[in-house]
Amino acid sequence: MAEEARARTIRAPCTLAAMKIYTKAGDDGTTGLYYGGRVRKDDPAPSAYGDVDEAQAAIGLARSEAERGGELDSMLISLERDLWVLMADLATETENRSKLIAGKSLVTQDMVDALEMLIDTITLRFPPITEFVVPGQNRMSALLDVARTVVRRAERTSLKAAAEGSLVIAYLNRLSDLMWTLARWQEGEALPSRGVRSA
């Protein structure tokens, strides 16, 4: 019986079509939006969610250095998933925003509040920072600082694209603060920007 079932499985045609990576729809320099509509690829919306995508990748690069299943790994996975929500929020035309689902395709105040709580929690894990710091004390903190700067750029780009009343900007603003906080936590001892000057 087991061999018959195996044979049927082998002979059965594949019911799931493989997704093609290329569609050619964007060859004219336009891209599709969430829930429909097309805009040029240099329109404020794709520029903004493209930068958010880059921020997600930068956080992923930092996560690749974290211990699998550890606290930092779990935090960064959660943030990467949040950024899918931001991209959907930014990629939706005004007339379709009523179709967005809170926390799944629409940024919520709870998402912003969660970042603030995380910042407050992590800040207690390292001595107070009283001045600018020099990045690069170790690889993990350096990668988190790179992610922070990419998030800041995504925030600036999103100013032109975020819908009125959207919480995308607040989220990105808080996320960059969190990236800074995580970097300071991971480096252990910060290197102050104003070093001791020799006589």
The pLDDT assigned to 98 comes to 93
Could you tell me the fold of the domain covering 39-129+137-187?
Hypothetical Protein Ta1238; Chain: A; (1.20.1200)
Which pLDDT tens digit goes with each residue over 151-169? 999 999 999 999 999 999 9
> What whole-number percentage of the chain has pLDDT above 70?
87
Q: Could you read off the pLDDT of 165-185 as tens digits, one per residue?
A: 999 999 999 999 999 999 999
Share of the chain above pLDDT 90, in %: 65
Q: Where are the domains of the chain?
A: 39-129+137-187
pLDDT at residue 195, rounded to an integer: 64
Reduced 3-state DSSP string for 88-117? HHHCECHHHHHHCCECCCECCHHHHHHHHH
pLDDT score at 17: 64
- Residues 63, 77 contacting (CB under 8 angstroms): yes
Residues of the chain with pLDDT under 50: 1, 5-13, 197-199
Which distant-in-sequence residues (6+ apart) come within 8 Å of 167 by Cβ?
107, 108, 109, 111, 112
With 0-12 CB in 10 A as exposed, 13-18 as middle and 19+ as buried, what is 145?
A: buried
Global pTM value: 0.84
